[in-house]
């Protein structure tokens, strides 16, 4: 009986050892997947490590490039803006992108500084007045320096030597001055840019009740994905009128409302009893409007736009 028991144990022990070997192999494989070579922070740590300037990720596990927390951009002076963020992901130009997450960002950019240079422009000459420019946070993986860059290109800035990672954070329409300046109304929170402007004021479509294109090229960049603001009458109406604003002349995403017989808006106000709208931009730098009158008494007031970052 004892001999039989020993014989059975002798057969079980090798089987147990085989299972242990297989488990150890699986565990090794899992750890390799969770901690890819070159990752500065073990992937098992899900929370950001704010003690490090940046965290690199394996190309096959790249974080989307538009990931950010508490991103803000504000006017600082005629030529300078300040960009801040609690967390921001930059990418390089490889295929697929490699990304690095940066924490506690606070950078200024001076568009009067000739470049390509960190903290200034990406070109030697000054920017063209009354055009759109774009601001980037850039990163040098060798020195681990974080800086900024301004460019006339929304997607392909000329990076300074050593800076191979970047991400667009904001945009602004330059003034007509020579050299051009940053509009003092520049203020962005997350992807939303707040800057009040009269897109239309005391104007009218050329044809009654037909949606016509509204050119937004001076009000939103080519990268804008939506626009929001108010529309209504900017002068006294003698009779009831109807108004529509839409994403396209085909009537996509239309807001409709009726304006009764109303007086002009008060001093320092743009529209009388205006209607708020927020429209997706389906065609770059365009929206549409229609009014039941051709009298020049109507307005579209932009409060801001959402940028694709």
CB 39 within 8 A of CB 57: yes
Confidence band for 221, pLDDT divided at 50, 70 and 90: very high
Kindly state the tokens that stand for 69.
């927390």
Assess whether pLDDT exceeds 90 at residue 270: no
Give 106-143 pLDDT, tens digit per residue: 999 999 999 899 999 999 999 999 999 999 999 999 99
**pTM to 2 decimals?**
0.76
- Which residue carries 């147990």 as its tokens? 16
Percent of the chain with pLDDT over 90: 60
Backbone φ and ψ of 34, nearest 5°: -75, -25
Q: Which residue has better confidence, 66 or 199?
A: 199
Task: Look at residues 199, 207, 206, 194 and name the one whose alpha carbon lies nearest to residue 287.
Answer: 199
pLDDT at 107: 97
Q: How far apart are CA 91 and CA 97, in angstroms?
A: 6
Q: Which residue has better confidence, 199 or 268?
A: 199
pLDDT at 89: 92
Q: How far apart are CA 264 and CA 233, in angstroms?
A: 7
- Four-point Cα dihedral 141, 145, 151, 153, nearest 10: 20
CA end-to-end distance (rounded Å), the chain = 77
Q: What is the mean pLDDT of residues 211-221?
A: 96
């Amino acid at each position: 009986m004892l001999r039989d028991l020993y014989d059975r144990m002798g057969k079980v022990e090798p089987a147990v050892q085989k299972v242990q070997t297989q488990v150890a192999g699986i565990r090794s494989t899992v750890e390799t997947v969770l901690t890819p070579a070159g990752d500065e922070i073990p992937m098992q740590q899900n929370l950001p490590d704010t003690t490090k300037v940046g965290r690199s990720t394996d190309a096959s596990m790249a974080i989307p490039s538009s990931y950010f927390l508490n991103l803000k951009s504000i006017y600082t002076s005629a030529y300078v803006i300040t960009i801040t963020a609690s967390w921001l992901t930059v990418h390089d130009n490889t295929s697929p992108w490699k990304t690095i997450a940066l924490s506690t960002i606070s950078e200024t950019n001076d568009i009067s500084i000739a470049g390509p240079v960190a903290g200034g422009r990406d070109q030697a000459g000054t920017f063209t007045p009354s055009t759109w420019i774009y601001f980037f946070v850039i990163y040098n993986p060798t020195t681990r320096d974080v800086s900024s860059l301004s460019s006339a290109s929304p997607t392909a800035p000329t990076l300074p030597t050593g800076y191979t990672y970047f991400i667009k954070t904001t945009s602004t329409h330059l003034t007509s001055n020579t050299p051009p300046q940053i509009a003092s109304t520049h203020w962005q929170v997350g992807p939303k840019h707040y800057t009040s402007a009269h897109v239309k004021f005391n104007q009218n479509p050329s044809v009654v009740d037909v949606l016509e294109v509204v050119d937004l090229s001076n009000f939103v960049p080519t990268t804008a994905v939506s626009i929001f603001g108010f529309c209504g009458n900017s002068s006294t109406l003698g009779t009831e009128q109807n108004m529509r604003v839409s994403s396209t002349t085909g009537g996509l995403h239309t807001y409709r409302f009726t304006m009764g017989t109303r007086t002009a808006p008060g001093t320092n106000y743009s529209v009388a009893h205006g209607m708020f709208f927020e429209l997706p931009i389906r065609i770059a730098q365009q929206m549409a409007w229609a009014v039941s009158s051709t009298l020049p008494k109507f307005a579209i007031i932009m409060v801001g736009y959402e940028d694709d970052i």
